[in-house]
């Protein structure tokens, strides 16, 4: 779902409405702030998630082959959705998507809230352990299909997330959309791991071309993003100051513009950790580069009043800044070397699971 990026936060929802400078600044500033949250906290959580003994928290590793194929798969998915919206009723497609993302959103938000709830609940809270186990066959041929362990705190998170899910399903409110969107983005940054910097460059380079082609070369990206009613983008109303929470003229940013650079930034944080120098130079340089690239996207888009492929600005910034830092520090070869420390960390996580 993160492949269907709508990179035009400045597109007005109605031609008659003209956003005030204050409303525009509030909307853009809020989008930038919301985009930074899952990248920062997702990157921090990505450092430790590979060591988790819970199979549900194990990261999914992206290899060079995966990275090379991803833009092609994303293009096919995007164009397929475009054809679906052209051929079938948009109302029924979005109804199916709403139900699908309701389930995904509840699980993602519950997983995001779980560490926070563990800190909020007092130690005296009666936290009982549960296990959901599905097996197939019997005797020696018995095979586990699902083996999930959870506790009372996880159930509380699930209930709260379900309430948000029902709110989104019934009202499609932009706040509920953003709660799900932030949860999707944070889980993506936390659980999708690039195996090395070279793979990250392949992925970002391929999606750079993908984003530019589908935004500038065709109307496919914009059409799908405007038709697709699902929490795959963060939105913020430009008319919030005039209409309050019932505002309807939204600036938007696709989750792909958060998750794709975010998993690269998380990789650089793990690279910092592997250097064992008690420094986060590459993480902070790439994080600042993301802020610069996203700010430049908004500036260009606001100036020319046209949808912009955010990765056009984010990819050069997020790759270029850390590479320059590595050149200055004389660590460029080390950066692009296959990170054995990271691989060992993942293998240890797999063995412990």
Helices 64-87 and 90-120, packing angle to 10 deg: 130
Told to judge if 151 belongs to the known catalytic residues of this protein, a careful annotator would answer no
Please state the rounded mean pLDDT for residues 32-41.
Answer: 97
Lowest mean pLDDT segment, chosen from 3-12, 252-261, 270-279: 3-12
Domain-embedded: residue 39: yes
d(CA 331, CA 324): 10
Distance CA 288, CA 316 (A): 13
Listed ranges 247-256, 258-267, 270-279; the one with the highest mean pLDDT: 258-267
Q: Which of 7, 57, 239, 257 is catalytic?
A: 257
Given 7, 211, 239, 272, the catalytic residue: 211
Lowest-confidence region among 42-51, 117-126, 304-313: 117-126
Is residue 298 a part of any domain in this protein?
Answer: yes
Looking at residue 132, its pLDDT comes to 82
| 50 φ/ψ sector (left φ>0, alpha ψ -120 to 50, else beta) | alpha
Residues 79-119: pLDDT tens digits? 999 998 888 888 888 888 889 999 999 999 999 998 888 78
Identify whether 253 is part of a domain: yes
Are 256 and 4 a contacting pair, CB within 8 Å?
A: yes
Query: Does residue 121 fall inside a structural domain?
Result: no
What pLDDT, on a 0 to 100 scale, did the predictor assign at position 3?
Answer: 31
Of these ranges, 5-9, 136-140, 178-182, 332-336, the one predicted with the greatest mean pLDDT is 178-182
Query: Which tops the pLDDT comparison, 11 or 28?
Result: 28
Query: Is residue 274 domain-resident?
Result: yes
Is residue 210 over pLDDT 70? yes
138, part of any domain: no
SS3 of residue 310 by DSSP: coil
Q: Which domain holds residue 310?
A: 21-50+59-115+156-339
Asked if residue 345 is part of any domain, the answer here is no
Q: Which of 22 and 123 is assigned the larger pLDDT?
A: 22
In a domain, 128, yes or no: no
**Counting beta carbons within 10 angstroms of the beta carbon of residue 313, is it exposed (0 to 12), middle (13 to 18) or buried (19 or more)?**
buried
> Radius of gyration of the chain from Cα atoms?
21
Helix (H) or strand (E) holding 78: helix 64-87
Largest CA distance in the chain: 70
Instruction: Using pLDDT thresholds of 50, 70 and 90, give the confidence band for residue 342.
Output: very low
Q: What is the pLDDT of residue 127?
A: 78
Closest by CA to 127, choosing from 147, 149, 111, 106, is 149
Question: How many structural domains are present in the chain?
Answer: 1
272 is catalytic: no
Is residue 299 a contact partner of residue 246, using CB atoms and an 8 Å limit? no
Q: What's residue 203's pLDDT? A: 96
- How much is the mean pLDDT over the chain? 85
DSSP string of 186-239? Answer: HHHHHHEEESSHHHHHHHHHHHHHHHHIIIII-SHHHHHHHH--SSSEEEEETT
Q: Two tokens at 145?
A: 């299909």
C-alpha 188/C-alpha 196 separation (Å) is 17
Does residue 148 or residue 179 have the better pLDDT? 179
Closest CA to 75 of 186, 187, 224, 194: 224
Measure the CA–CA gap between 192 and 50, rounded to whole angstroms: 10
């Amino acid at each position: 779902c993160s492949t269907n990026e709508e990179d035009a936060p400045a597109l007005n929802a109605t031609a008659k409405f003209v956003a005030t400078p204050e409303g525009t600044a509030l909307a853009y500033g809020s989008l930038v702030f919301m985009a930074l949250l899952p990248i920062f906290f997702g990157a921090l959580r990505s450092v430790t998630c590979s060591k988790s003994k819970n199979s549900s928290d194990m990261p999914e590793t992206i290899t060079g082959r995966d990275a090379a194929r991803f833009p092609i798969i994303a293009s096919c998915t995007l164009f397929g959705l475009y054809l679906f919206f052209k051929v079938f009723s948009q109302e029924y497609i979005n109804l199916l998507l709403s139900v699908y993302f309701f389930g995904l959103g509840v699980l993602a938000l519950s997983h995001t809230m779980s560490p926070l709830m563990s800190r909020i609940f007092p130690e005296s809270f009666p936290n009982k352990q549960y296990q959901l186990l599905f097996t197939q066959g019997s005797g020696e041929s018995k095979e586990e299909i699902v083996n999930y362990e959870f506790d009372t705190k996880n159930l509380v998170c699930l209930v709260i997330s379900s309430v948000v899910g029902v709110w989104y399903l019934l009202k499609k409110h932009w706040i509920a959309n953003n709660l799900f969107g932030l949860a999707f983005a944070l889980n993506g940054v936390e659980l999708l791991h690039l195996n090395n910097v070279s793979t990250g460059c392949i992925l970002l380079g391929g999606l750079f071309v993908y984003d530019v082609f589908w935004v500038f070369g065709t109307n496919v990206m914009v059409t799908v993003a405007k038709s697709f009613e699902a929490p795959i983008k963060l939105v913020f109303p430009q008319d919030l100051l005039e209409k309050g929470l019932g505002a309807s003229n939204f600036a938007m940013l696709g989750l792909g513009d958060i998750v794709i650079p975010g998993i690269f930034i998380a990789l650089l944080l793990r690279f910092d950790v592997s250097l064992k120098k008690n420094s986060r130079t590459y993480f902070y340089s790439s994080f600042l580069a993301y802020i610069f690239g996203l700010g430049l996207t908004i500036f260009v888009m606001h100036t020319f009043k046209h949808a912009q492929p955010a990765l056009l600005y984010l990819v050069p910034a997020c790759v270029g800044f850390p590479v320059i830092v590595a050149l200055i520090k004389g660590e460029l070869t080390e950066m692009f070397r296959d990170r054995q420390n990271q691989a060992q960390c993942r293998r240890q996580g797999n063995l412990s699971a």
